[in-house]
Homo-oligomer: A and B are copies of this chain.
C-alpha cells in the first residue's frame, strides 16, 4: 500500500511513474524489470521512484491494483445495466474486452500478478496485500457468475459446470491481452469491432444465438448506460 499523502500531493507525477512502471512490467515481468529500468524509461533515476513508493513490490502492487480498478470499471456498465441477464453479460464482456486493448499494459501486469501467488512469504504486510488482491479477483469472477446464473434462471441459456464455463468465457474475453499490440491507426471503431467479434464468440460459446440484432441492442444499451 502506498501512502495516500504522497500519492495525492502531486497526482500527475505519481500517475506518470505508475504508467511507466506498467509499461516496463508488462514487457519483462516483475522479476526481470529493475527499478533503474523504470527510472530510465522516465528519464529519471531511482530517487524519484523511491520517493513515491517504498519498495519495488509496492510499486508493482500499485500498478496491479490500478489494473484491477480498470477491470471493474470496464464491466460496470454491463453489470449495473437494467436489462436481461444475457444482455448485461454481453455488455460486460464487450466492455472488458475493449479495456483489455485500451489498457493493455495494466492488463498484462495483472496477468503477471497471478504468478506471484506462490512467491513465498515476504513481509506480513505484503501477504495481506496479496490476499486482498486474490479476493478482488474472486469478486470479479463472482460478478460474472452472478449474471450467468441470472441468465440461467431466465431460461436464456443452459450450462454444464458453471466454473468451467465462466472461466472459458473469461478466457475468451481476456484473450487480447496475449496478441493485441497497439498501433498508430488504432481508433475506437476498430477496437470496437474486435470486441464485437470476441463478444459474439463468447456469447455463442454459452449457447446463445447471438444475432446481429442482439448485438445492436447491446450497443444501444451501452449508449444508454453511459448517459
Q: Which residues does A use to contact B, with CB under 8 Å? A: 27-32, 112, 114-115, 118-119, 160-161, 164-165, 167-172, 174-175, 178-179, 194, 197-198, 200-202, 204-207
Report the bound CA distance from A27 to B178 in whole Å: 19
Please determine whether A27 and B198 come into contact, CB atoms closer than 8 angstroms.
no
**Residues from chain B with Cβ under 8 Å of A31 in the complex:** 28-29, 31-32
Report the bound CA distance from A219 to B86 in whole Å: 31
Please determine whether A179 and B167 come into contact, CB atoms closer than 8 angstroms.
yes
Overall SS of chain A's interface: helix
**Residues from chain B with Cβ under 8 Å of A160 in the complex:** 197, 200
Please determine whether A172 and B205 come into contact, CB atoms closer than 8 angstroms.
yes
Further 6 A-B residue pairs, CB within 8 A, beyond A31-B32, A160-B197, A168-B172 = A29-B31, A31-B31, A164-B194, A165-B201, A167-B179, A202-B205
Please determine whether A115 and B27 come into contact, CB atoms closer than 8 angstroms.
yes
Please determine whether A168 and B115 come into contact, CB atoms closer than 8 angstroms.
no
Q: How far is the CB of A205 from chain B (nearest CB, A)?
A: 4
**Residues from chain B with Cβ under 8 Å of A174 in the complex:** 171
Report the bound CA distance from A179 to B137 in whole Å: 12
Interface residue from B29, B112, B169, B198 paired with A164 (Cβ < 8 Å): B198
Q: How far is the CB of A37 from chain B (nearest CB, A)?
A: 11
Please determine whether A168 and B29 come into contact, CB atoms closer than 8 angstroms.
no
Please determine whether A198 and B32 come into contact, CB atoms closer than 8 angstroms.
no
Report the bound CA distance from A182 to B221 in whole Å: 42
Please determine whether A114 and B178 come into contact, CB atoms closer than 8 angstroms.
yes
